[in-house]
Every structure is written in C-alpha cells, then in structure tokens.
Structure 1
Amino acid sequence: MSRTIMRRGAEMHVAGELPQPGDRLPPMKLTGTDLADVGLDAFAGKAKIFNIFPSLDTPTCALSMKQFNARVEAMPGVVLLQVSADLPFAHKRFCAAEGLKNGVTLSMMRDKTFAADYGVLIEDGGMAGLCARAVIVADGNDVVVHSQLVSEISEEPDYDAAMAALESA
C-alpha cells in the first residue's frame, strides 16, 4: 500500500505500513556510528522512541534530532533511536558538533529494508529512497504505543504526543 505525503505542496508516495499501536516492531538491521550492525535486540527491555527522518542536513531534521535529544535527557530506561539514510560518519559529525549525547544514531547504509518494513520509504520524487518523517514509540517488549507519519515532510513531528506515549510504555 502506498500513502501520500507532501513536500512544500508536491506529492510524494510512501511505501509500506507504518506500525500502529498494538503492533510488534518489525525486525531491523541498521548501522551504528561504529559501523557495526544494530538490531532491536541491542535495546531489549527498553522503551524506544524512533525519530525517523530524511537527512540530518536539513533544518527540520536537525531540529527534530535536537528536540528529541533534549526531551529524553532525564528519562532513564528510554532509548532514542535517530534513523535516516545519512552515513554513520555524518551522524557522528553532526552529534559531535551539536553536543547531542542522548540518542543512538542509525543509518540505512547497508540495509534499505528498514524503510519499507517500517512504512517510511519514499517511493518517488527527488527524495525517493529516503525515509519519510515519522515517530514510533514502543514499550520494552517492542509493542508500538504511538506512531505518526508526518503528512508535510517539512514540518516537525508532534513531540508532545510522542513523549506522552512514553509514559504508557
């Protein structure tokens, strides 16, 4: 199934189904800043907030990384997973330059199935192959408690809704 999102008035289509509350998270294999493969098992037992975005080199994506990083600072037992198609080197550079220390950045560098499996793969237009902007919150058992696909990619996600969902995770 394909859904439509917008980018400053232009339609783009997104493949797959965004996990919904009550769903289990699909398996994943992404690449960390140390170039090691990372799966869900690395975060077993922890509540998770996925901040999924196209590229940290855009203003809204950079802002979402900073916002979520600040909001999870005082939340033990919660892991912030910041996911994009950017290379791990870019993730590491950005976090160092911005002083971001409260999240785990993950890249689709080696395995593009994450975007399709998590329902965020942009299928067409200039951003084809990147992730749509989305937030997924899951509990320590990998059950989704909140998800949002942002309909206008240049807009920020609903931070408050995501953080409120963590309280039930």
Structure 2
Amino acid sequence: MATVTLKGNPINTIGTLPAVGSDAPNFTMTKEDLSSGSLSDYKGKKVVLNIFPSIDTGTCAQSVRQFNQEAAELDNTAVVCISKDLPFAQGRFCGAEGINNVEMMSDFKDGNFGKAYGVEFADGPLETLLSRSVVVVDEKGKVLYTEQVSETVEEPNYKAALEALMDA
C-alpha cells in the first residue's frame, strides 16, 4: 500500500507501483473506439503510461495536454493516458482539445489495470479511481521509471519521465 495526499489529506492505494527493472504487468483496457488495447500491442516500442483519476479535473487534463505535446517529439514511443473515465468522456476531451499524439484507455470495466499496477485508491473521496502516476516501459516490457505523485492535485515530473526514455 502507498499513501499519497489529496489537498493534504492522506489517502491510500491498494498496492505499490511495479519496481524499476521488473516486467511491466500486461493489461487489457478499453480504447476510445471501444475496442480493447493492451500493453502487448506496443511490444518493440517504449511506452509512457500517464495514469490519473479523471480527465475532468484541471491537473489530469493538463497532464494529457503536456504528454500530447511532448509525445510529438518522441521516436518509437507511445504515450497511453489511463483513467477510469468512460471512453466517451476521454474521446470528447481529446476531440475538443485537438489531442492526437497520445492514446486514451479506460480501466472502467473491471479495474484490472489499477489492481495490477497498485494505483487504485483504497479509501478516501477518490476510492476506486486511479492515483496520479507515471510508468515508463522499454521496448522489451521492462519498467524503466515510476512516479506516484505524492500530492494528487500536483502534476507529475514530466522531465524525469522523458529523461528515462532518453537514457534507455
């Protein structure tokens, strides 16, 4: 279990992020077009998993915008933005914002991603949503970098995540 805060109030997740150097757990989630997508779809590419509670909050929306901007500069890299928002909400946001360099996936069906990655909130007002985190995976499926943002209303360290990609 990990403890983070929401506006200074402690909340817990059900586990911890996968360890750097470990195999990233595979997952299957729902894409914007309602098809299924999984980590194995990106084999041979580096992957940035941008994980957050809801696209309908300012900080979550900004993380998608920022990674969308940064992703345009990355070679052989996919950025996957993950929340429990319905795919319709994710698609509406991306369409309204002109987001086209990241892929959105939803963990709304069974929550298996949040459980496998240890980022599902166990308590508090965001219970069952996903903790703001970033996981960077190399072309072979190994975890290169992780960050679970300690204060949920703050943005992740984009620079550190992108540097992990460059160092790989």
Q: Which residue does the alignment assign to 1:77?
A: 76
- State the Cα distance separating 1:19 from its structure 2 match: 1.1
Structure 1 regions of 5+ residues with no counterpart? none
Q: Distance in 1 between matches of 2:124 and 2:40?
A: 34
Q: Which residue does the alignment assign to 2:165?
A: 166
- State the Cα distance separating 1:11 from its structure 2 match: 0.9
Partner AA of 1:110 in structure 2: K
Instruction: Look up the SS of the partner of 1:42 in the other structure.
Output: helix
- State the Cα distance separating 1:76 from its structure 2 match: 2.2
1:13-162 alignment runs, 5 A limit = 13-162=12-161
Partner AA of 1:54 in structure 2: P
CA contact (8 A) 1:50 1:81 kept: yes
What do the CA deviations read for 1:118-147 (whole angstroms, capped 9, x no partner)? 011101111000000000001011101100
CA RMSD, aligned part only?
0.8
4+ residue runs of structure 1 moved beyond 2 angstroms?
Answer: none
Partner AA of 1:63 in structure 2: Q
Q: Distance in 2 between matches of 1:15 and 1:109?
A: 17
- The count of residues paired between Structure 1 and Structure 2 equals 168
Q: Sequence identity of aligned pairs in percent?
A: 39
Q: Distance in 2 between matches of 1:145 and 1:168?
A: 9
What do the CA deviations read for 1:79-106 (whole angstroms, capped 9, x no partner)? 0000000000011100010001001100
Q: Which residue does the alignment assign to 2:9?
A: 10
Partner AA of 2:87 in structure 1: P
Q: Distance in 2 between matches of 1:140 and 1:65?
A: 22
Instruction: Look up the SS of the partner of 1:164 in the other structure.
Output: helix
Structure 2 regions of 5+ residues with no counterpart? none
Instruction: Look up the SS of the partner of 1:166 in the other structure.
Output: helix
TM-score, length-scaled by structure 2: 0.97
- State the Cα distance separating 1:61 from its structure 2 match: 0.3
